Structure 1
Amino acid sequence: MRENHTDSRGIGFLLAAIFCFASVPVFLRHFTGFLDSWTVNGVRYALATCFWLPVVLRTQGKTEAGANVWRDALVPAAINIVMQIGWAMAPYHNTAVVIGFVIRCSFLFSTLFACLLLPVERGVLRHRLFWVGAAGIIGGLTLMYLGSLTAGGTTLLGISILVGTAALWGLYGVLVRQRMARYGAALSFGVVSLYTAVALGGLAFAVGDWRAAAEVSCRDWGLLVVSALFGIAFSHVLLYRAIHILGPVATEGGLAVLPFATALAAVLFLHEKLAALQWLGGVLLVVSCACLISTRYRKSPARNNAATS
């Protein structure tokens, strides 16, 4: 009963994270009309960091003996910085709908990195369904790209940016579980976001056209604030909680429903759409992710022993 209650809490955190993350590609696509990717990154992360800074200051000293959240957050933060650069560049080369579908291949990378870094996850590699799902993801990406050759929506560079970002996202989720599980979700992300905000803010001033932010309308500043809160501050902490309870593989698998929520939002607010071949590739991606997550619950003897020890 207690385990079921814990799983229910994890699923609740995951659903809330899905709601927040679904809006991100739509917001980012909108911002391409008046800000460059470096400035968008710097502004959004600075706003999100300000939200969690009081939590960090209040709780950083309340960790277990020998723990150092600033040290443990260094590697996840480094991965997050590079990932956020790719994430912000993606909307300049892809539509929001394409982003929503292709970024889900992060689940394949999450599984592979989990098997590499977390021994308890390696049992999934023994299941045939895992390899079927992995092949399906590759097939889905191929169909998405082939469909874009005639319908538009992405380019080879755009797909490459998304796949690279997805790989980093998968690694990031595993590192969060491996290195940050002993800390609260708000403290964990608060420290990671501080490192990230400093790096992205520096890049915004060094590379971006940060002066353009002064000309942004009040309405669009409001959207920047909302996207920072829902797309970064809230979503990442909710994701941390889900990862700590459900594990990185199950969490990434649950995020497979995100593309459809993003596609609906993109149709309503940006009037974007996919061609038939792109829809086929997108659906194949999501179904393949479902195949992968099903292997997560076909526990091997090693996983069962780890779960009961």
Structure 2
Amino acid sequence: MITAVALAGYATVVGAVLPSLLSRARWAHRAPVLAVLAWQGLMVTFVVAATLAVYHLVLIEQHVHRGLVGLLSVCGLAADAPPGGSTPTVTDALLLAAPAAIVLLPVGWFVRCAWQARRARQRHLDVLTLVGEPAPQYDATVLDHAVPAIYCLPGRCRRVVITRGALEVLTEEQLRAVLEHERAHIEGRHHLLHVLADAFSRAFPGLPLARHAKEQTGLLTEMIADDRALRFHRRDALATAMCEVAAGRPPQAALGAGGTGALLRLRRILTPQPRPHRATWLGLVAATVAAPLLPLLVACGP
């Protein structure tokens, strides 16, 4: 019971306390890649800790004295499980359904969200085939629409879309800067991070971690794409282009240059801050990797 309480407390801290602290951390916007890794680590940690806590609660009489090895023994996967031994009973299977559901729920939502996003992208690609005009010089598709907007459709049939309004208001450098931003989304497969955060939020609605992770993932991936564009283009060119296309809303399952937190990103672009110290990087990476391993060590204990 002590192990179950400890794991439940750990899951509560990860799911309800740490998200508000991480969302306000100053280093996160200076190292968005590391911050995205931290949010992914928290989501994995919550699932691992919550699963093991429920396992210890529902199987306390049968296997909790053997820690995680008890779970493997029930499934016949433990190294010391006797060959040809007793098979899991119906009761064992029903009890295992509770911790298994915590793992399968976000996995199921991920599959569904990925499928829905893919369908939405495909529908939009079908429309672009009919009304879009190829622009080989930009490796993009031009859409005859007056509102300035630039966005990308990631995935297997990737596409960058520029509206006619954006071509009219943006200079060549500004246009190139935003296109670099969109290619960063595509090459970084940021849509998968969005789907992961969306699936987690649907699997655990009301959980602070789910809400913050979804919001911050959208913002941080935009910052990552901004940083990629700033490697090749001036800050004022990207900032001005962002302002021009901010009114354009990308379609469902697309990633647009206006993106999330435009004002916050503009301030970050125009007033750059130093990157975190190398020691800070290493410490945060180590903490992110260790966080999901700690509940496993607790559960494997005698």
Normalized per residue, the structure richer in strand is: 2
Higher relative contact order (CA closer than 8 Å, sequence separation 6+) = 1
Task: Assess same fold via TM > 0.5.
Answer: no
CA radius of gyration, larger in: 2
Normalized per residue, the structure richer in helix is: 1
- TM-score normalised by structure 2 residue count: 0.29
- TM-score normalised by structure 1 residue count: 0.29
